[in-house]
Amino acid sequence: MHVYHDQLEVRTNGKKLYEITDDVQSKVGNRGVRNGTVTIFIQHTSCSIVVMENADPTARRDLENFLDRLVPEDADYFTHDSEGSDDMPSHIRMVLTHTSETVPIVDGKMQLGTWQGIFLFEHRRAPHRRRIFTTIIGE
């Protein structure tokens, strides 16, 4: 059994989902682990990691629109707005989604379902560089 850490950097350009499935699988492949798990952890509080439908882009746009309505930018009781109107909603959207996900690895491949992809969900409007840790535990 071994543990391997790797890092990914993703450049984002506005509020939406960015697929990272191939990047994560590539880290798994490079480490040569046949059986185990990979934990994907994002080191930020204004974007998330989600597993989401990866076949139809309309599903992702509907999800983005839903979250824009669920967590509006102009709630009059928000006081944490030093970085603009998308600042506080970004933290709430992160808490309602996920900071880490753990995916099984069998025969060197992540065991995602047919329609599952791994995505970075960016909640800020301005461009950002986002850092993701992948930690593989296995043999």
Tokens of 61: 């746009």
Part of the chain binding its own copies (CB under 8 A), chosen from 8-16, 24-32, 101-109: 101-109
- Contact pick of 8, 18, 19, 53 for its own copies (by CB under 8 A): 53
Side by side, which strands form the sheet with 17-19?
Answer: 17-19, 116-122, 47-53
Under the criterion CB under 8 A, does residue 102 sit at the interface with its own copies?
yes
Q: Are 10 and 120 in contact (CB under 8 A)?
A: yes
Under the criterion CB under 8 A, does residue 44 sit at the interface with its own copies?
yes
Neighbours of 129 (CB within 10 A): 9
Under the criterion CB under 8 A, does residue 99 sit at the interface with its own copies?
yes
CA atoms within a 13 Å half-sphere pointing along the CA-CB vector of 42:
24
Under the criterion CB under 8 A, does residue 75 sit at the interface with its own copies?
yes
The runs of H, that is alpha helices, within the chain are: 21-31, 57-70, 87-96
Residue ranges binding its own copies (CB under 8 A): 1-3, 5, 35-37, 39, 41-46, 50-53, 56, 58-59, 61-63, 65-66, 70-71, 75, 77-80, 82, 88, 91-92, 94-104, 106, 111-116, 131, 133, 135, 137-139
